[in-house]
Amino acid sequence: MIKEGSVQLDSYRLAQYSVQVPCYICEGGNSFDAELCRHCFAPMALAHQANSQKIAPRIIAAIGASGVGKTVYLGMLMDILSRQSDRLQMLARGAFSITLQQITASALARNEFPHKTPNEPDRWNWVHSQVRSPAHRRPVDLIMPDLAGEALLEEIDHPHTYPVIRSLLSKCAGVLMLVDTVKLQSGIHDQDYFAMKLLTYLIELDNHPKHGWSQRPVGLVFSKADECEECFDDPVAYAKAHSAGLWQHCNEQFKRFQFFAAGVAGGCAYRNLPEGRVRVPLRIEPRGIIEPFEWLIDELRE
Amino acid sequence: MRVPKIRKRWAIVGASAAILAICAWIHLWFALGVIVVAGAAFVAKRYRIELRGGKAVAAQSASLLQSVAHAITPRSAADPTDTKGLVEEMLAQGRYALLLRKQVVSNLSDEQFERAREALSESMALVPEGEVALGPIDQALEDGKLDNEELALHEGKIVRVSALFLDRFPVTNLQFKEFVDGGGYEQMSIWDPHIWPAVLDFVDQTGAHGPRMWKHGRCEKGHEQHPVVGVSWYEAAAYARWVGKRLPTDAEWVKAGSWPVPLSPTSRMQRKYPWGDSMDRGRCNLWGSGPGRVVAVTDYAQGVSVGGIRQLIGNVWEWTSTNFGAGALHGGDFSLPSPMKSLRGGAFDTYFENQASCHFQSGEKPVARKHNVGFRCAVSMCDLVLAQVSVTDAVGPAAELHEHDKQEVAA
């Protein structure tokens, strides 16, 4: 049996569909109700917030090899900044910006590290936040994605595989490059080479002498430094001693760079699972998390 | 008037001789001074060279190190034959527990014994014997009590603890300096033999013996009452032996903090924190509640336990004598990258409250010298003589308790 009924014609919707909304990351056109950019899979909420609040957030990224600790670093940074008020303060813009913090803090409180970030860009966590500091009157709006290390490596080896990474790093105002101290300490130099590859990729992306990557700030963070106290004592000396190639590369290619040490876990053990050994933290005592970010923000203000 | 020529010559010769004599005298003293200083420097250098040489050889031969250890005498001011002076020095160094040992107590006068006892009473708190539940049982303690079913569900276990004394405060920099100045790092008999090769590596930032954060064999000025940090488990154990004590076991530490009270044969009350069952950040130095660094051991007095022990939670993690095992964590099979010793209590930079409870256990490599790990000492009650008795009684199998101590244990 066929029922008759009236369907309201939402003509205004047709009008809205005819206007393309550019993605904040890749600037590709999207329909107004798209959740993710159809070109690069970045969340369209970033563009909508920028348009509605008439702001132009700056983009920074935490980059580094897979398993270096990007998710833990960003999640912990957000949690610390949202809990303390004497130094920098971070205010999340949009509910989606709290997801990364929530996932990280919940896992660490259970003595686990958060799951590995998937390679698919549509499953990445993005953070849009406003950062205030007592020393500066004007707040800074920031966009920080939690990138997958394997996707980064894939994009470097095969450019244009991940358009979102290329667009994002082109627009980035600065980066925090994470290097695994545990691997460096054990004499494995993969981290060193990967970091140099990434830095070379950045220079190739934009080599303009005035506003290219050579002029943008790069914070080099030795992650998991809790396993190596000497790294905390003097990160620069540690870089010279254990990562000489990276140290030399930065000196030659970048004008604004600084070495830091950071750690979240006080000690680690391994949980034996059917799929293999998984590293678990024995206690959480963050060190050196804020300093690289604080330095980067100060550099961006300049 | 003209002076005769010959007299003038004699005057010049005399004056020259006098000047020469004075110069010679000065030179003689100067030369003597140089010889003394050079000799002292040579001896000091020789002493260091022997130590460093010992370090190189130690890795190959422990027996040689032992001979080095015997060759080095502790820097003690007291004459070994002067018993009274020795006792006074040990009391000043805080080694009262050593004096109250059965084998030593007979050498004390009544007055010295009483002073040692007072020092014990002031510095250490009594933890009565009894059972304590161990394991990741915080969730089971939400209602403040724990029965055997809940315990099994949360992979906990019951351990029986004998009566002991536990330091009221963590060991301070000042106390540890007594150990360093008293030649603790050079008395190999108080160190685990297998760690001898590493002892010479336990140095401060200037290469002198001492905790990792110290410089020139002393802590930063104004930090004397801060808990000593940057010490390995072996250094903590050696200090404990030097003062006649030992590191507490895991069960003893938890019992002192959680103060269990049996309700029935299968059920008990046990605190999550020394002050009660809920976290109160005002009572302990944790991340976000303190100044973000180690504070003096006398701070945060409100966090005192029932037995009168301070700073069990927060400020610095504390080494215990127990091995850190896989059973410490929830759910599943764990493996450690290297053997670890158990840590308890959380530190000034512990981020999550659930990791700073009496039952949360962490671990660390025993040679690690972390910025936030200290220790406190314990001594079993049965190892001490707490009432002045005759020599034969003192060295007997069981130490007699003072009536007051018996009452304390009963309480």
Interface test with B, best of A110, A111, A186 (most B CBs within 10 A): A111
Q: What is the pLDDT of residue B33?
A: 60
Q: Indicate yes or no: CB of A284 within 8 angstroms of CB of B364.
A: no
- A284 within 8 A of A266, measured Cβ to Cβ: yes
This prediction's pTM: 0.80
| ipTM for this model | 0.86
pLDDT of residue B148: 83
| Helical spans, DSSP H, in B156-222 | 173-181, 196-199
Per-residue pLDDT, A12: 72
Number of neighbours of residue B139 by Cβ within 10 angstroms: 13
How large is the greatest C-alpha to C-alpha distance in chain B, in angstroms? 123
Give the end-to-end CA distance of chain B in Å, rounded to a whole number: 107
- Comparing CA positions, the residue from A161, A134, A133 lying closest to residue A148 is A161
In this predicted structure, what is the pLDDT of residue A9?
66
Please write the tens of the pLDDT for every residue from B291-336. 999 999 999 999 999 999 999 999 999 999 999 875 566 556 778 8
Most confident of A156-160, B47-51, B369-373: B369-373
Does the distance separating the beta carbons of B347 and A267 come in below 8 Å?
A: no
Other beta carbons within 10 angstroms of residue B19's beta carbon come to 10
pLDDT of residue B388: 65
Rounded average pLDDT over B9-20? 73
pLDDT at A112: 92
pLDDT at position A185: 87
- Do A111 and B329 make contact, defined as CB atoms within 8 angstroms? yes
pLDDT tens digits for range A168-218: 999 999 999 999 998 888 888 888 889 999 999 999 988 888 889 999 999
Q: How large is the average pLDDT for residues A3-23?
A: 74
User: What is the residue type of B133?
Assistant: A
B63 pLDDT higher than 50:
no
Residue A251 and residue A196 in contact, taking contact as beta carbons nearer than 8 Å:
no
Confidence of residue B103 (pLDDT cuts 50, 70, 90): confident
pLDDT for position B39? 53
Task: Decide if pLDDT at A249 tops 50.
Answer: yes
- For B39, the token pair is 């000799």
Mean pLDDT computed over A239-258? 92
Domain borders along chain A are 18-56, 57-301
Asked if the model's pLDDT at residue B45 lies above 70, the reply is: no
How are beta strands B145-147 and B267-269 bridged, if at all?
Answer: antiparallel
In three-state secondary structure terms, B21 is: helix
Closest among B309, B273, B294 to B225, alpha carbons compared = B294
Q: Is B55 a residue whose pLDDT tops 60?
A: no
Q: Which amino acid is at B380?
A: S
Question: With 50 as the cut, is the pLDDT of residue B169 above it?
Answer: yes
Mean pLDDT of B22-31: 68
Tokens encoding A172: 């980035």
How far is residue B343's CA from residue B360's CA, in Å, rounded to a whole number?
9
Contact: B364, A84; criterion CB under 8 Å: no
Is B183 strand, coil or helix?
Answer: coil
Enumerate the residues of chain A whose CB falls inside 8 A of the CB of residue B370. 229, 266
Which of B 194-233 lie inside 8 A of A, CB atoms?
212
In angstroms, what separates the C-alpha of B363 from chain A's closest C-alpha?
7
- Percent of chain B at pLDDT > 90 equals 55
How much is the average pLDDT of A75-84? Answer: 91
Identify the DSSP state of B203: B
Token pair belonging to A234: 């003097």
Element (H, E) at B374: strand B373-374
Per-position b or e across B94-117, b if 16+ CB within 10 A of its CB: bbbbbbbbbebbbebeeebbebbb
Contact A266 B212 (CB under 8 A): no
Nearest chain B residue to A232 by CA: give it. Answer: B371
**Chain B residues touching A287 at Cβ < 8 A:** 349
A169 within 8 A of A61, measured Cβ to Cβ: yes
The pLDDT value given to residue B225: 97
Least confident of A76-85, B132-141, B396-405: B396-405
- How high is the pLDDT of residue A33? 84
Residue A68: the pLDDT is 93
Task: List the strands of the sheet with B333-335, edge to edge.
Answer: A276-287, A263-273, B333-335
B65: tokens are: 């190190």
Q: Which amino acid is at B319?
A: W
SS (H, E, C) chain A: CCCCCCCCCCHHHHHHHHCCEECCCCCCEECCCCCECCCCCCECHHHHHHHHCCCCCEEEEEEECCCCCHHHHHHHHHHHHHHCCCCCEEEECCHHHHHHHHHHHHHHHCCCCCCCCCCCHHHCCEEEEEEEECCEEEEEEEEEECCCHHHHHHHHHCCCCCHHHHHHHHHCCEEEEEEEHHHHHCCCCHHHHHHHHHHHHHHHHCCCCCCCHHHCCEEEEEECHHHCHHHHHCHHHHHHHHCHHHHHHHHHHCCCEEEEECEEEEEEEEEEECCEEEEEEEEEEEECCHHHHHHHHHHHHC
pLDDT given for residue B170 in this prediction = 97
**Contacts with A3 (C-beta within 8 Å, 6 or more apart), sequence order:** none
HEC string for A91-122? EECCHHHHHHHHHHHHHHHCCCCCCCCCCCHH
The minimal CB distance from A285 to the residues B326, B354, B372 is found for: B372
Q: What integer best gives the mean pLDDT of chain B?
A: 81
Question: Averaging pLDDT over each range in B86-90, B225-229, B389-393, which range is the top one?
Answer: B225-229
pLDDT at residue A97 is higher than 70: yes
A279 touches chain B (CB under 8 A): no
Q: How confident is the model at residue A229 (pLDDT cuts 50, 70, 90)?
A: confident
**Which residue would you say has higher pLDDT here, B20 or A127?**
A127
What class does CATH assign to A57-301? alpha beta
Q: What does the pLDDT average to over B371-393?
A: 82
- What integer pLDDT is reported at residue B7 of this predicted model? 67
Chain A residue closest to B327 (CA)?
Answer: A271
* Each residue's pLDDT tens digit, A132-171: 887 777 888 999 999 999 999 999 999 889 999 999 999 9
